[in-house]
Amino acid sequence: MPASRSRNTEWRRSLQQVMEKGGGLELAVARKAGASSDGQADLVWRTRLTQVADDFLEVERPQALGRGIEFQSGVAMVAAFVIGQNRFTFSTEVLGSVRGPGPRALELVRLAVPSQIERCQRRFDRFDLQGLKLPTVTLWPLLDPKSVIPAERANELAFQAFQKGEQPPAVDENLMPQVGPPVTAVLMNIGGGGVGLRVEPRESGALSRHRVFWMKVPLGSDQPVPLVTTAKVVHTHIDSMQNTYAGVAFDFSFNPGHQGVVTAQIARQVQQVQARQLPGG
């Protein structure tokens, strides 16, 4: 039996292999059946796979800057994982949350076992076949880190107004930090303290010349105030298609209070995409 077909039909062995190597899953809330791409941004979470049982999978609860992300029981999810150069995806559902054993007492999320897994074709990303729309991020090389403070403060005030049901004020371009020419990227996943980005070959040169950027992430029509933050590139690698994948850490050194705003924006986005699956959503 060809290797790809074997992995698709013997999914448990594949997931067991991922877990034994300390790997994980990438998770995203599935779009509601029949829903179109309506400007909503879909976020993907990177988390460690901790158990492959007969009737459930278990992963560490995804985190955003130290805050656990809440997924409601019954919410449909899509998941993806990588073995070597092969990428796979499958559908699942949140079964609930539990506390792990031992002194650390990790918060864990249980997921339904898949009926099958599907191999992603080379030209597709892990979630292309699931109809998700990953955010397009803009990165500017940051020439003066202190210059982000007025821009981030304006972003905080806009988000506060939005939370109150008010119209967020227009962005004042004069508050833009001192930056270089912009680079665009795709936000591939979110980890505990940063994000994974994919940058196309024609724009990846900036990543070798700069390490600190100011980043803007549009979150879709339901959340008109974008996420903005200082970000540091901590590692990069180039794939077989010559795209650069960059691990980027959030940096709040010059504006510590902005961390709470970023965390609140991410938490609200997760709540919104889950609400779309509920009756009337």
Please tell me the predicted confidence (pLDDT) of residue 6. 45
Same domain membership, residue 97 and residue 50 = yes
pTM of this structure: 0.85
Domain edge (last residue) among 70, 102, 130? 130
Please tell me the predicted confidence (pLDDT) of residue 19. 92
Query: How confident is the model over 92-151, as pLDDT tens digits?
Result: 999 998 887 766 667 899 999 998 888 876 555 555 556 788 899 999 999 999 999 999
In a domain, 280, yes or no: no
Same domain membership, residue 54 and residue 32 = yes
* For helices 148-163 and 258-275, angle between their N-to-C axes, nearest 10 degrees: 40
Please tell me the predicted confidence (pLDDT) of residue 3. 42
Closest CA to 89 of 149, 150, 8: 8
Distance between CA 25 and CA 45 in Å, rounded? 8
Residues spanned by the domain of 45: 3-130
Same domain membership, residue 117 and residue 174 = no
Same domain membership, residue 227 and residue 190 = yes
Same domain membership, residue 161 and residue 121 = no
Cβ contact 229:250 at 8 Å = yes
In a domain, 216, yes or no: yes
Same domain membership, residue 155 and residue 242 = yes
Domain edge (last residue) among 82, 109, 130? 130
What is the per-residue DSSP string for 199-264?
A: E-GGGTHHHHH-SEEEEEE---TT--S-EEEEEEEEEEEE-TTSPEEEEEEEE-TT-TTHHHHHHH
Same domain membership, residue 241 and residue 122 = no
Residue 108, SS3 per DSSP:
strand
Characterize the bridge pairing of strands 57-60 and 107-111. Answer: antiparallel
Same domain membership, residue 35 and residue 111 = yes
Domain edge (last residue) among 130, 152, 171? 130
118 contacts: CB under 8 Å, gap ≥ 6 = 8, 88, 89, 90, 129
If one counts the domains in the chain, the total is 2
Mean pLDDT by 10 residues, the chain (281 residues): 48 88 90 62 90 93 85 92 84 89 78 87 56 89 94 94 88 88 94 90 91 93 90 90 91 93 91 77 57
Please tell me the predicted confidence (pLDDT) of residue 184. 96
